[in-house]
Amino acid sequence: MDHFLYKSGQLHAEDVPLAEIAASVGTPFYCYSAATLTRHFRLFDEALAGVDHLVCYAMKANSNLAVLKLLADLGAGMDVVSGGEYRRARAAGVPGERIVFSGVGKTRDEMRLALEGGIRQFNVESEPEMEALNDVALALGTVAPITVRVNPDVDAKTHEKIATGRKEDKFGIPISRAREVYAHAARLPGLKVIGIDVHIGSQLTDLAPFEAAYAKVADLTAQLRADGHEISRLDLGGGLGIPYERSNADPPLPSDYGAMVQRVLGDLGCEIEIEPGRLIAGNAGVLVTEVIYLKEGEEREFLIVDAAMNDLVRPAMYGAHHDIVPLDEAAPGAETHLYDIVGPVCESGDTFAKRRALSALAAGDLIAFRSAGAYGAVMASEYNSRPLIPEVLVSGDQFAVIRARPTFDEMLNRDTIPEWL
């Protein structure tokens, strides 16, 4: 469910017409719904009610400070994968004890930053990383709390580029070597083992891969405890998918996921951490763009819009689908046209959809890409010297720009021409 609905023939974000925002900030822009973000976080929190748990929002999905503060105020922890994300979390008011540091390539500077600023745990992904973290912790006279990310060799049945739990993927330590690696960690005085971490991929639409991975984690918990390790926390990652295509069957609900987690792992007496990102933020955002031209091809009709692949790269990168709707609601039974919806970037890959059925549109009309709240603005670039587009947050009948569009002068002034040129 989201809060982008037609009211009196106009697409609204909660109680604000999206056309009103477009008139104020220009197009293209991202718009997020505070009510949807709140609802989706609470669905996960309630799904684990009765179990000691923390929902750590995966910041890589959408790291705008306003979004982070909204979720932090609801009690969310944060899952960060870089020093920059750690700084963003702290700037949004998230205490260190609610921040989990993931990622395969943490640098010593990032480790030092988190140890000095406060950290809940590091999810360690390799033995060289473990050695580096031990060195940094000892130099600071402290002990780093860690889980070890294990790779359970479970195929998440998701897109090739977002699968992370197979043995050929770069993430984690093979679960077959886990006991050996945990024994090594226990010998390092700068580390304190507190649990196990696992994450098998993103945009999963079936609970079976999760259950297979978590069953392996349950077995490993018993083995590690028998080896003398204190396993008090299980970080289960994220990955639950969202319905990008509204014509398709919906993925499992957070309540279904929570029930499965409690059934498979609930008798271990461990605190549970989960790291949802896409399901919290994805359907909480839309990308609004204006039609620049309607171009008649020999066999195609092209809608050329002012958004481009640099603003929303998912279709070009993953072949991803986003439902596209006009801001003016089509009349019942209105004739539809098959449009190729493309941007102005000089790449054939700058194509959002091919032969998409929409009501008749013309230059100046506004359309919205649904389910754009995750992996949209965070993956944007200034390719073709196009400014990053604004982000707007709506709450009820009010809206605010939470990241402004930079001016061309601001973009140009970031570059420096050497005196010798």
Q: Tell me if 4-31+282-412 shares its fold with 34-279.
A: no
Fold of the 34-279 domain? TIM Barrel (3.20.20)
Q: Residue 65's CB: how many other CB atoms inside 10 A? A: 14
Domain positions in the chain are 4-31+282-412, 34-279
Residue 16 tokens, joined = 């604000």
Q: Residue 334's CB: how many other CB atoms inside 10 A? A: 11
Q: Where are the alpha helices (DSSP H) in 11-54?
A: 18-25, 34-47
The helix or strand, by DSSP H or E, that contains position 8, with its residue range, turns out to be none
Residue whose C-alpha is closest to residue 79's, from 112, 62, 57, 96: 57
Distance CA(255)–CA(386), nearest Å, equals: 41
Contact 341, 324 (CB under 8 A): yes
Distance CA(201)–CA(165), nearest Å, equals: 6
Q: Which residues are catalytic?
A: 346
Residue whose C-alpha is closest to residue 237's, from 256, 258, 210, 259: 210
Give the angle 100-33-315 at the CA atoms, nearest 5°. 75
Residue whose C-alpha is closest to residue 107's, from 79, 88, 135: 135
Residue whose C-alpha is closest to residue 254's, from 9, 44, 27, 6: 44
User: For the chain (length 421 residues), average pLDDT per consecutive 10?
Assistant: 93 98 98 98 95 97 98 98 98 98 96 98 96 98 97 65 49 89 97 95 87 94 96 94 72 92 96 96 98 92 97 95 96 92 96 96 98 97 97 98 98 97 96
Using CB atoms within 10 Å of the CB of residue 152, give its burial: 0 to 12 exposed, 13 to 18 middle, 19+ buried: buried
Distance CA(114)–CA(99), nearest Å, equals: 9
Give the pLDDT score at 169: 56
Q: What is the CATH number of domain 4-31+282-412?
A: 2.40.37.10
Using CB atoms within 10 Å of the CB of residue 207, give its burial: 0 to 12 exposed, 13 to 18 middle, 19+ buried: middle
Give the global pTM. 0.94
Q: Residue 413's CB: how many other CB atoms inside 10 A? A: 10
Give the pLDDT score at 168: 55
pLDDT digits (tens, 9 = 90+) for 323-373: 999 999 999 888 999 999 999 999 999 999 999 999 999 999 999 999 999
Residue 282 tokens, joined = 């994805």
Distance CA(375)–CA(283), nearest Å, equals: 11
Q: Sign of the C-alpha dihedral, residues 377, 6, 69, 399? A: positive
